[in-house]
Amino acid sequence: MEQKKMLFGIDSIAGYFQSSPNTIRKLVKEENFPAVRLNGRWESNTELIDAYQRNRVAMRCDGV
């Protein structure tokens, strides 16, 4: 199992998810993307993002 790595900053999170910062903001607001803004700094971790992506794929495969 891959060890989680903390990501700091919207650009780091977007880079890991291979998306734009604006898309990350939208996903946080509308789809429970696992990132938070604490004291003006965005934070997340790779383990949570990977789980989010797996769930997203599973939902699409199930036709949801």
Q: Which residue has the tokens 């992506």?
A: 53
pLDDT for 10-58, tens place per residue?
999 999 999 999 999 999 999 999 999 999 999 999 999 999 999 989 8
φ, ψ for residue 12, nearest 5 deg:
-65, -40
Kindly state the greatest CA–CA separation across the chain.
38
Q: For residues 43 and 7, is the Cβ–Cβ distance under 8 A?
A: yes
Q: With bands split at pLDDT 50, 70 and 90, how would you rate the model's confidence at 63?
A: low
The hierarchical CATH code for the domain 6-61 is: 1.10.1660
45: helix, coil or strand? strand
Query: What residues does each domain of the chain span?
Result: 6-61
**pLDDT given for residue 4 in this prediction:** 80
Task: Find residue 13's DSSP bridge partners.
Answer: none
